[in-house]
């Protein structure tokens, strides 16, 4: 039944959902026509709004770079030898397919809360290694279910510390980088979003619910298909790179270049600089005590921790530098990860242009007024989560979606006196739900595990349904 459901959903997406870049262009055209027909703005004015450097197509340049670095740094940490070794050690623990599915799902979800790139790649690596370990023991493994378990991190990531919407609300500068002028949105501390009671219950509860659900879906022995093996590894390990770099004597670098490129010295130099920043950022009191002899009272000021995309990226770059044994190992991991940034690079300017037209023409205010006429403080968060889940099918990027839908959500929160943190998380929950149907971010996992999208989507769809019910209940009771 699940295989048939997977085939059906895959056929639907294959025939109805074009490349996300194509969708971004079509959404731009729809927004242009809607603004021209529902406001007094002329086509010439819309073109100027779309191309405006401060509020149009170029507004999300810094935002897009932040999202690329979140992907790249998380991938680099997951691909490092210590993390890969740890995941391989974990893979030897399960003794049955059900135990393997439970372990993979719980680990992927836990890593996804820490960082979505780490959860995606770490979950994929663990799914592959658990499948291989069980096969070596003679246990027949249902590989598609194990792979689906490895994708669980993308179901909880927006409620974790790399969630785009909550992080982009932590400071006035971050808010201004996304929201157009006139939208009533003020910075929110993480205590009102990621660290709120709503998110603690919703996200951490699902870290328990999803793995148990996946374990219960594990088929009985004898019903599993053949184990899949990837055709090629997605990332090159440090040992493989070293072997490749030594294949041709004529191409070997000189001793100094070899030392700089293939030892951790350069990594540690940069790590020391970032480490000094990290000490002052995460432990300002300790940093002051260590430096007060040199700084005196001028260094006494401390500030509260306010995590944002930039500090998150610096933190994970620090981890990647420390975990990779050489600059070349890190560069190789970053090169592998950078392929996943293509969609962000192409689509984010278009998302910014859409928001520039919709906001500057007055259409955003019209839509907001219509929403507040039909919604209530109780129903608007649920409506927002549902619409976010639908939008994610066409804008498969949490950051890009927040740029489009965030201003509308925050304006609705202001109009109906809803806690702004609740609306931020409503968008976040809806965005992550349909990741279970949208194959855009599943591509690295599919390459690592060797399964096909149609083989996992039946399982991820059922997990999504349970997650939607749980998150909707949390918004109703705690929102």
Q: Examine the pLDDT at 243 and tell me if it is beyond 70.
A: no
Distance CA 337, CA 347 (A): 17
Is there a contact between 339 and 440 (Cβ–Cβ < 8 Å)?
no
**pLDDT score at 302:** 45
- For the chain, the straight-line distance linking the first and the last C-alpha, in angstroms and rounded, comes to 36
Query: Above 70 in pLDDT, residue 286?
Result: yes
Q: How far is CA 300 from CA 15, 16, 274, 278, 282, in A?
A: 62, 59, 21, 17, 15
Give the separation between CA 397 and CA 341, rounded to whole angstroms. Answer: 11
Locus of tokens 């991991």? 333
Segment 430-449 mean pLDDT: 82
Sign of CA dihedral 165, 170, 176, 179: positive
What is the predicted pLDDT for the residue at 1? 59
Q: Which range has the worst mean pLDDT, 149-158, 340-349, 440-449?
A: 440-449
Average the pLDDT over 209-220 and give the result. 87
- Calpha distance 337→79 (Å, rounded): 10
CA distances from 456 to 146, 150, 208, 229, 298 (A): 9, 10, 20, 15, 58
Neighbours of 373 (CB within 10 A): 8
Q: What is the pLDDT of residue 223?
A: 52
Tell me which of 305 and 398 has the higher pLDDT.
Answer: 398
**Do the beta carbons of residue 356 and residue 57 sit within 8 Å?**
yes
Cβ distance 434 to 390 under 8 Å? yes
Question: Model-level pTM?
Answer: 0.81
Q: How confident is the model at residue 247 (pLDDT cuts 50, 70, 90)?
A: very low
Count of helices and strands (H, E) across the chain: 25, 0
pLDDT at 184 over 90: no
Let me know if 22 is exposed, middle or buried by CB neighbors in 10 A (0-12, 13-18, 19+).
exposed
Identify which of 465, 394, 457 has the alpha carbon closest to the alpha carbon of residue 431. 394
Mean pLDDT (whole number) for 73-90: 92
* 69: its two tokens: 């670095």
User: Count of alpha carbons within 13 Å of 394, Cβ hemisphere only?
Assistant: 17
Q: Report how far residue 376's alpha carbon sits from residue 363's, in angstroms, rounded to the nearest whole number.
A: 21
Average pLDDT over residues 301-322: 83
Lowest mean pLDDT among 76-85, 88-97, 267-276, 357-366: 357-366
| pLDDT of 175 higher than 70 | yes
pLDDT recorded at residue 479: 77
Tokens of 128: 């592959």
Q: Distance between CA atoms of 144 and 458, rounded to whole angstroms?
A: 10
pLDDT band at 234 (very low <50, low <70, confident <90, very high): very low
Residue of 245 and 417 predicted with greater confidence: 417
- Cα torsion for 34, 435, 381, 478, to the nearest 10°? -170
> How distant, in Å, are the alpha carbons of 235, 257, 328 from that of 263?
20, 10, 9
* pLDDT band of 186, cuts 50, 70, 90: confident
pLDDT tens-digit readout, 130-162: 999 999 998 888 888 999 999 999 999 999 999
Mean pLDDT score of the chain: 84
pLDDT in tens, 387-416: 888 888 767 677 878 888 888 888 888 888
- Is 60 exceeded by the pLDDT of residue 7? no
Q: Output the six-digit token pair for 427.
A: 């968008």
Dihedral sign (CA 210, 312, 474, 476): negative
Q: What does the alpha-carbon distance between residue 388 and residue 373 come to, in Å, rounded to a whole number?
A: 19
How far out from the chain centre does Cα 147 lie? Answer: 18
Confidence class of residue 18 from pLDDT cuts 50, 70 and 90? low
pLDDT at 202 over 90: yes
Q: How far is it, in rounded angstroms, from Cα 274 to Cα 277?
A: 5
Q: Which of 71, 80, 70, 65 is nearest to 321 (CA)?
A: 80
Distance, CA of 288 to CA of 298 (rounded, Å): 10
Rounded to whole angstroms, how far apart are CA atoms 338 and 333? 9
Q: Are 196 and 476 in contact (CB under 8 A)?
A: no
Lowest mean pLDDT, pick from 20-34, 83-97, 419-433, 460-474: 20-34
CA 341 to chain centre: 12
| pLDDT (average), residues 37-44 | 93
- Percent pLDDT > 70 in the chain is 85
The answer to whether the CB of 450 falls within 8 A of the CB of 132 is: no
C-alpha–C-alpha distance, residues 345 and 438, integer Å: 19
**Ramachandran category for residue 313: left, alpha or beta (phi over 0 → left; psi -120 to 50 → alpha):** alpha
What is the reported pLDDT for 428? 94
More confident residue, 104 or 400: 104
């Amino acid at each position: 039944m699940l295989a048939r459901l997977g085939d059906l959903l895959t056929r639907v997406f294959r025939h109805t959902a074009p490349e996300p870049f194509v969708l971004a262009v079509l959404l731009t055209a729809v927004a242009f026509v809607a603004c021209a027909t529902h406001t007094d703005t002329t086509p010439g004015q819309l073109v100027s709004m779309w191309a405006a450097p401060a509020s149009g197509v170029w507004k999300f340049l810094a935002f897009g770079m932040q999202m690329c670095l979140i992907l790249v740094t998380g991938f680099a940490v997951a691909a490092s030898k210590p993390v890969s070794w740890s995941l391989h050690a974990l893979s030897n623990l399960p003794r049955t397919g059900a135990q393997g599915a439970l372990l993979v799902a719980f680990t992927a979800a836990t890593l996804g809360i820490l960082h979505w790139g780490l959860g995606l790649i770490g979950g994929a690596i663990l799914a592959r290694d658990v499948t291989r370990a069980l096969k070596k023991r003679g246990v027949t493994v249902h590989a598609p279910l194990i792979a689906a378990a490895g994708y669980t991190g993308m179901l909880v990531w927006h409620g974790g510390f790399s969630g785009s919407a909550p992080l982009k609300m932590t400071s006035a500068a971050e808010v201004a980088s996304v929201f157009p002028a006139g939208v009533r949105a003020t910075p929110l501390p993480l205590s009102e979003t990621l660290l709120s009671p709503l998110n603690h219950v919703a996200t951490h509860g699902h870290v328990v619910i999803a793995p148990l659900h996946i374990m219960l879906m594990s088929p009985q022995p004898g019903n599993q298909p053949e184990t899949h093996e990837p055709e090629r590894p997605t990332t090159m390990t440090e040992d493989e790179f070293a072997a490749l770099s030594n294949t041709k004597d004529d191409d070997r670098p000189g001793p100094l270049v070899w030392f700089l490129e293939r030892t951790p010295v350069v990594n540690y130099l940069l790590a020391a600089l970032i480490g000094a920043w990290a000490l002052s950022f995460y432990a300002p009191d300790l940093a002051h005590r260590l430096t007060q002899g040199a700084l005196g009272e001028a260094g006494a000021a401390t500030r509260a921790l306010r995590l944002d995309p930039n500090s998150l990226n610096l933190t994970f770059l620090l981890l990647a530098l420390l975990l990779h044994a050489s600059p070349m190992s890190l560069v190789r991991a970053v090169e592998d990860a950078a392929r996943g940034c293509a969609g962000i690079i192409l689509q984010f300017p278009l998302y910014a242009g859409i928001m520039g037209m919709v906001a500057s023409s007055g259409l955003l205010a019209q839509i907001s007024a219509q929403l507040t006429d039909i919604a209530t403080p109780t129903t608007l968060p649920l409506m927002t989560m549902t619409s976010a889940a639908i939008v994610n099918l066409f804008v498969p990027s949490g950051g890009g979606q927040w740029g489009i839908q965030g201003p509308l959500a925050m304006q609705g929160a202001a109009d109906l006196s809803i806690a702004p943190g609740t609306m931020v998380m409503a968008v976040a929950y809806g965005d992550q739900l349909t990741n279970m149907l949208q194959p855009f971010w599943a591509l690295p996992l599919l390459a690592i595990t060797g399964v096909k999208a149609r083989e996992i989507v039946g399982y991820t769809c059922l997990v999504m349904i349970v997650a939607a019910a749980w998150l909707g209940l949390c918004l109703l009771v705690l929102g």
